[in-house]
Amino acid sequence: MYHALLTRRYLTSKVMPLLASLAVVLCTAMVLITWSVMGGFLNNLTQAGRTLIGDVRIALPNVGFAHYDDLIAKLEADPEVEAAAPIIEAMGMLTLLENRTEPILIRGIEGESFARVTGYADTLWWKPLDEPVKKDRQGDDLRLEETDRTLLQRIYEDGLTLTEIDPITGQPEPAIVLGMEVGGWNKRTDWGGYYPRVQYVAASDGGSELRNIFMPGSGELVVLVVPLDSQGRPLDPVTRKFPVANEFESGLYDIDKQTVLMELRALQRMLRMHAAKRLVEPGGSGVGGSSPDPLAGFFEEDTEGVSEPEVVEDPARVTSVLVRMADPDGDLEAFREKCHAIYAEFTRDHAGEVPDAMMIGIETWEDANRMMISAVKKETGLVLMIFSFISFTAVFLVFAIFWAMISEKTKDIGILRALGASRLGVAWVWLRYGLAIGVVGSICGGLLAWAIVTNINEIHQGIAHTGEWLGSTLTDKPWNWYIWDPKVYVFKEIPHKIEPWKAVFVLTGGLLSCVVGALWPAVRAARMHPVKALRFE
């Protein structure tokens, strides 16, 4: 009982334990805020990576595999599967306005199925908005323009279908959707939005002209791809000009900078992965060679005039099928296994026509992004380690304060011993005291971290505005105190996510730090000789 009484009295009547508590508060809050922000950053990055992949990807790069419609039908028949979509991923070149050519990743997609599997529709940038985004307090977003609603709606729908109406024929023609950072034609704003740039571009007469670069308006770009034969050998390059239907922002700079989305069938034709007929000479081998190359006798649908060899139908191919789980929080690994089983069943139905289940790559979105995720995880771990190390000073601080307090309270220890308190009892007074400081410090630190993390963007905004005001007042030039500048970072707001287990871990760490810090002084108090303690001056 006297332990509780003394702990309470010491805690409320001294300044030093309050300082120790404050140190624990700050250390706990610092670690928790860091972890929450870095965790939020990692979460945003991975979710952004998931946005354009779905949950599981069944892939055979380059050559691809056929009968994917059948595979998709089998997948979507399973109640655990929400949707599946075929895509092709291939490297290519994009000729920019200034006649520059850049390497890009081209993804051939079906807009409708791709949108069901991924967050594609949400990533399309140009669409009419009813309300400004959170940080656009001035309402500067071009997408808010009432007069442009019809145009933006059409651009949005073009983006969904990856087609654009040909002004001459009036028929939809395949189009491409660019990553927001491709070509550098968009300027990022203070609030994390985009304006199309106005810049000089190469003119047809060899000179240059000033042009408003709004690519979905009337932009056309040339795409070059190199088709491969069934054994991965390159064929002649294929180029084609496409109108730009829209632009997308995935949240990952690398993807937004290097990816172009194209209508699936257009890309299949360019890569010669579309459904086609092939001539096979009697005897089994294709025309033009003795190797069992499925593309060796490739030709366009024009088969007139050829009559002697046998005509074989080669089905269309894709390099991947993306699959989305019905339960977003379900077991990803179990879902991958499920997809594997469905694919194995699919191979039995198409024996010899599709790659074996052992050859195909079936990976989760986490596996697909593991390089990026592990890099950020390592970075998070490193930062946490550094901050935890700094926070470890709390142990020494508690130790120093307790050491000083025990010196100050030596007589109290002597009195307790004279009244019959045991060594263990005296030690427990100080350990309990450390525990109390730890509990108070950790809980207050947790609350402080929670308050800061949940309002981190408002706090950040407040600091930035203070800088602007101070700078304008003192030097006639606003000071830029933006730490997380939306112009620079892909995420417009500082990401954050407090996870309960992390909070429990950090708070327990804060608590243990105090107990560890109090341990040695407590032992010292316990071992104090009662007479020396009573005579201590």
Partner 1 sequence: MSTPHETTRPPEPTTTGVTKHGSENCATGGTPLLRVQGLHKTYRLGRVDVPVLHGVDLDLGSGEWVAILGASGSGKSTLLHLIGGLDRPDKPANGNPRASIRFRGNDVVGFSHAALNRYRCLDVGFVFQFYHLLPELSVSDNVLLGTMIRHGRFGYMAKRTDLRARAQKLLEAFGLGHRLRHRPSQLSGGERQRVAIARALMNDPDLLLADEPTGNLDRKTGNSILDVLAEIRAERGQTMLMVTHDPEIAARADRIVHLVDGRVVDGGG
Chain residues binding partner 1 by CB under 8 A are 1-6, 9-10, 13, 411-412, 414-425, 427-428, 431-432, 529-531, 534
SS3 call for 533: helix
Residue whose CB is less far from partner 1, 137 or 411: 411
Question: Minimal distance in Å, beta carbon 488 to partner 1?
Answer: 54
Q: Pick between residue 390 and residue 404 the one whose CB is nearest to partner 1.
A: 404
Smallest gap from residue 420 Cβ to partner 1 (A): 2
Q: Shortest gap between Cβ of 514 and partner 1 (angstroms)?
A: 17
Residue 274, C-beta contacts closer than 8 angstroms, at least 6 positions apart: 265, 268, 316
Contacts of 346 (CB under 8 A, 6+ apart): 67, 70, 71, 74, 354
Bridge pairing between strands 176-179 and 238-248: parallel
Residues 6+ apart with CB under 8 A from 408: none
Single-letter amino acid code for the residue at 312: V
Please report, for residues 133, 153, 173, 243, 467, the alpha-carbon distance to residue 164 in angstroms, rounded to integers and kept in the order given: 27, 13, 5, 7, 47
Q: Which is nearer to partner 1, 162 or 416 (CB)?
A: 416
CB-based burial label for 505 (10 Å; 0-12, 13-18, 19+) = middle
Cβ proximity to partner 1: between 37 and 413 the closer is: 413
CB of 3 to partner 1, least distance (A): 7
Measured between alpha carbons, how far is 498 from 404 in angstroms, rounded to an integer?
36
Least distance to partner 1, CB of residue 528, Å: 12
Q: Kindly state the smallest distance separating residue 13's Cβ from partner 1, in Å.
A: 5
CA distance linking residue 35 with residue 45, whole number of Å: 15
Identify which of residues 506 and 526 has a Cβ nearer to partner 1 in the complex: 526
Closer residue to partner 1, CB minimum distance, 7 or 319: 7
Q: Which of 254/412 has CB closer to partner 1?
A: 412
In the complex, what is the shortest distance from the CB of residue 327 to partner 1, in angstroms, rounded to a whole number?
A: 49
- For helices 16-51 and 500-527, the axis angle rounded to 10 degrees is 150
Minimum distance of partner 1 from residue 511's CB (angstroms): 17
Based on its alpha-carbon atoms, the radius of gyration of the chain, rounded to whole angstroms, reads: 33
Residue number with CB closer to partner 1 (4 or 312): 4
- Which of 294, 151, 315, 162 lies closest to 228, judged by CA? 294
Distance in Å, CB of 20 to partner 1, minimum: 17
What totals of helices (H) and strands (E) does the chain contain, helices first?
18, 19
CA-to-CA distance for 23 and 25, rounded, in angstroms?
5
Pick 45 or 431: Cβ nearer partner 1: 431
Which helix (H) or strand (E) segment holds residue 116: the answer is helix 111-117
